[in-house]
Amino acid sequence: MKLKTILLTVAVLFLIALIAPKKEPAATIPQESAVATAIQSQRSADVGIYEIPTSDASDKKSRSYPVTKVVDGDTVVVNIDGKNTTLRLIGLDTPETADPRKPVQCFGEEASQRAREILTGNSVQLEMDPSQGELDKYGRTLAYVFLEDGTFFNKLMISEGYGHEYTYNLAYKYQKEFREAEYDAQENKRGLWSDTACMQESSNSSESDVAYYTRSDVISDTGSYECTKNAYNCSDFATQAEAQKAFEACGGLSNDIHRLDSDGDGQVCETLQ
């Protein structure tokens, strides 16, 4: 009798075990998925910070912004959401006309006038470049400017000889294109590269009124350098050796006031090599 009772009890317990709902294991898979997603998101963020964008049209902002003022050939003001924003155009440097610290430079008026002809009364699209940061040292927004018909304004000014290719420190997205455009303008003697570009200004003005625009006009010919304020960019030097000399003369890593050594390895303006 006892054996029969035991067997019956075992059978009941077995049936209960079969029909009882099974508990699912802890949700380790979703947790692993969440971790993977987080890692992937971090990787995507890292790429977004350090990688220069491709030339896809998707990189350009689809919105257009009206130009409210042309300061000179490489600086314009646009209206963004009701606020006037000053833009410093990446990769382009035109002769000075608006800087009160400097005389009007050769071909500066022509460059400013050409910019006004193209931009005044028009709207533009903007493209930023993560490699250059958002603002320059004067607080101006750094950007590439495109007309609504797709014309690349920064490059156009260089192509027509109204400005130089300009690398502040780090290489930027369109650097190769801009350098090729400058070379082509120089070879074909367009704009400021013309043999007669500054003859009219020279004959009508004293030397103190018009300065001939040279890439290294802020570098001292005497071998001494300005080491008390940020006065130089990598593009002000013809060679890496020249930039290195100025860097070391001002104290090297202990006083990199011009921010020529972007990665802190003691070697400056390495894009010039």
List 96, 110, 201, 270, catalytic entry: 96
Q: Judge whether 215 counts as a catalytic residue.
A: no
Q: Using CB atoms within 10 A of its CB, is residue 103 exposed (0-12), middle (13-18) or buried (19+)?
A: middle
The CB density around residue 55, as the number of other CB atoms within 10 Å, is 12
Cα Rg of the chain (Å, integer): 31
C-alpha dist (Å) from residue 159 to 1, 20, 168: 107, 80, 19
- For residue 32, give Cα distances in angstroms to 24, 40, 44, 182: 16, 12, 18, 53
From 88, 127, 165, 201, active-site residue: 88
Looking at 114, 127, 140, 201, which residue is catalytic? 140
| 140 tagged catalytic | yes
Closest Cα to residue 66, out of 147, 11, 5?
A: 147
The whole-angstrom separation of Cα 99 and Cα 236 is 17
The set of catalytic residues is 88, 96, 140
